[in-house]
């Protein structure tokens, strides 16, 4: 339901009672479609169980099940110090300190606190991939929803908002409204001048022609609505995204019932972390949505506990936050959201035995740390600017001075730590993306050197048509639906 339909300016529904009825029917229909997709996502992943019974498949899943049994029978304290003499024979393996235990803890929690005696631990472990496959499908849909819900104004209105200017009363954006769509072109230096001088007048001209010819702008200019949560294209985008995620091979192959492996829960943790992060960026510069940064930090902790791919998550969010700053979209909301996410997530991540202090030592994780430290300096400068009511020139003097002093101190500390061997090398997983692995003939060594760059054929095989849809979607969003999320 387009939010423009709620207005008198060309909308088809003007009566509030009919609007409530229409929105209710639309909401119920959307929820039913979402439930159907999630049910199908679960049912598809039950194929192996229906045909072969509740059996753990493959080597790694069976090892994970054995570790889960040990945790269930002996508790966390013994599990954390467990040295298994039967694996990697005759060497053995200190299991408790060398695996990501999130999946095992999840299985035991479900067994003890949710299903109890109604289901065996084996059955719980068999079903977890299907359960979490559906959960990842839901989170992916919520990500698409969050990136799509908002209001589309004409370019000059968007520019006015970015400058802090007020729109006419009838065009005002409610304080609880998700966000105002714009174009990435208006955030790029030099390019934004071209955008304002040439593109904006052309769009305005075409809009006026459309209104004269069609008698309406066909909802292209969405105005604020009390029912923005059900606005188009957000709900439809979420439903289509869920439908694609439910059947895409790349996800399905790691979430088939019986395949009790780390990725089966980690993808749900990954998508959940991303959703909480972009949800924390909803609204204006002073929006209270930054509180979702706390949930993002907790979700990231679960991601760390579940899978070594957490490095990808922290770096992607760090790059996103850094780009928002470079695009001139820094705000107190962004500062609070990222700071809460990083502090909570990283602090909890260090409690995972296999991770330890790696987030503060590993070179591939120092980027997000630098973004965090940079945000503290920026907010410090902004606090001084607000309190002293500094002009643009004086504010820049403060920023340059603060960053210069911090840079000198930081460089000195980094040099001392480097001399003491504090920083660790880039992990083998990251190096494997750039250095091709040479077969050693040792099955154990070669099996853990599996992290190599994917081929074009692999993308086509595991992502299908999403390979072509995703780039087009990115371009569309960047040019017409660009905002913090």
**Per residue of the chain (485 residues), what is the pLDDT tens digit?**
334 344 333 344 556 777 778 778 888 899 999 999 999 999 999 999 999 999 998 888 999 999 999 999 999 999 999 999 888 788 888 998 889 999 999 999 999 999 999 999 999 999 999 999 999 999 999 999 888 877 655 555 554 544 544 444 444 455 555 666 777 877 777 777 777 778 778 877 887 887 788 776 655 555 544 455 555 678 888 999 999 999 999 999 999 999 999 999 999 999 999 999 999 988 777 777 888 999 999 999 999 999 988 999 999 999 999 999 988 888 888 999 999 999 999 999 999 999 988 888 888 889 999 999 999 999 999 888 888 888 888 888 888 999 999 999 999 998 898 888 888 777 766 766 676 766 666 665 666 656 667 778 888 888 888 888 888 888 878 877 788 87
DSSP letter at 114?
Answer: I
Q: What is the pTM of this model?
A: 0.86
End-to-end alpha carbon distance in the chain? 21
pLDDT of residue 210: 79
pLDDT of residue 12: 45
pLDDT of residue 461: 87
DSSP codes, 6-53: GSTTT-S---HHHHHHHHHHHHHHHHHHHHHHHHHHHHHTTHHHHHH-
Residues ≥6 apart with Cβ < 8 Å to 457: none
> Following CA atoms 322, 326, 331, 335 in sequence, which dihedral angle do they give, to the nearest 10 degrees?
20
Residue 261, number of CB atoms within 10 A of its CB = 23
3-state secondary structure of 319: helix
pLDDT tens digits, one per residue of 388-402: 888 888 888 888 999
**Residue closest to 333 by CA, chosen among 278, 271, 391:** 278
pLDDT of residue 177: 56
pLDDT of residue 170: 41
pLDDT of residue 157: 53
pLDDT of residue 422: 83
Residue 451, number of CB atoms within 10 A of its CB = 15
């Amino acid at each position: 339901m387009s939010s423009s339909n709620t207005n008198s300016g060309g909308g088809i529904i003007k009566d509030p009672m009919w609007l409530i009825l229409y929105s209710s029917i639309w909401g119920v229909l959307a929820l039913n479609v979402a439930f159907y997709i999630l049910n199908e996502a679960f049912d598809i992943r039950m194929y192996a169980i229906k045909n072969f019974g509740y059996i753990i498949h493959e080597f790694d899943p069976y090892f994970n099940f054995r570790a889960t049994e040990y945790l269930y029978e002996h508790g966390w304290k013994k599990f954390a110090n467990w040295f298994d003499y039967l694996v990697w024979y005759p060497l053995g393996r200190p299991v408790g300190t060398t695996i990501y235990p999130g999946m095992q803890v999840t299985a035991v929690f479900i067994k003890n606190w949710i299903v109890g005696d109604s289901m065996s631990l084996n059955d719980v472990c068999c079903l977890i991939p299907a359960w979490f496959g559906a959960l990842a499908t839901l989170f992916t849909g919520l990500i698409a929803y969050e990136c799509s819900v908002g209001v589309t104004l004409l370019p000059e209105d968007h520019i006015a908002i970015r400058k802090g200017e007020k729109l006419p009363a009838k065009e005002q954006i409610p304080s609880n409204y998700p966000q105002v769509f714009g174009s990435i072109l208006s955030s790029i230096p030099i390019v934004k001048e071209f955008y304002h001088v040439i593109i904006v007048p052309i769009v305005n001209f075409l809009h006026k022609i459309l209104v004269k010819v069609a008698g309406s702008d066909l909802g292209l200019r969405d105005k604020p609505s009390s029912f923005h949560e059900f606005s188009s294209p957000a709900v439809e985008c979420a439903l289509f995204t869920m439908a694609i995620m439910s059947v895409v091979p790349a996800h399905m192959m790691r979430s088939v019932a019986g395949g009790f492996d780390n990725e089966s829960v980690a993808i749900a943790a990954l998508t959940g972390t991303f959703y909480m992060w972009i949800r924390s960026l909803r609204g204006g510069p002073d929006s209270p949505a930054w509180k979702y940064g706390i949930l993002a930090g907790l979700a990231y902790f679960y991601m760390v506990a579940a899978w070594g791919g957490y490095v990808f998550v922290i770096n992607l969010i760090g790059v996103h936050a850094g780009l928002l700053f470079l695009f001139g979209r820094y705000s107190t909301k962004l500062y609070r959201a990222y700071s809460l996410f990083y502090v909570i997530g990283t602090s909890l991540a260090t409690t995972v035995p296999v991770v330890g202090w790696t987030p503060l030592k590993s070179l591939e994780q120092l980027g997000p740390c630098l973004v965090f430290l940079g945000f503290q300096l920026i907010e410090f400068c902004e606090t001084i600017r607000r309190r002293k009511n500094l002009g643009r020139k004086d504010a820049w003097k403060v920023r340059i001075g603060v960053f210069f002093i911090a840079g000198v101190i930081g460089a000195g500390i980094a040099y001392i730590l480097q001399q003491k061997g504090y920083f660790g090398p880039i992990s083998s997983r990251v190096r494997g993306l750039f250095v091709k692995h040479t077969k050693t003939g040792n099955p154990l060594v070669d099996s853990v050197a599996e992290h190599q760059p994917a081929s074009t054929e692999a993308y086509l095989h595991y992502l299908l048509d999403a390979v072509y849809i995703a780039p087009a979607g990115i371009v569309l969003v960047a040019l017409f639906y660009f905002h913090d999320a």
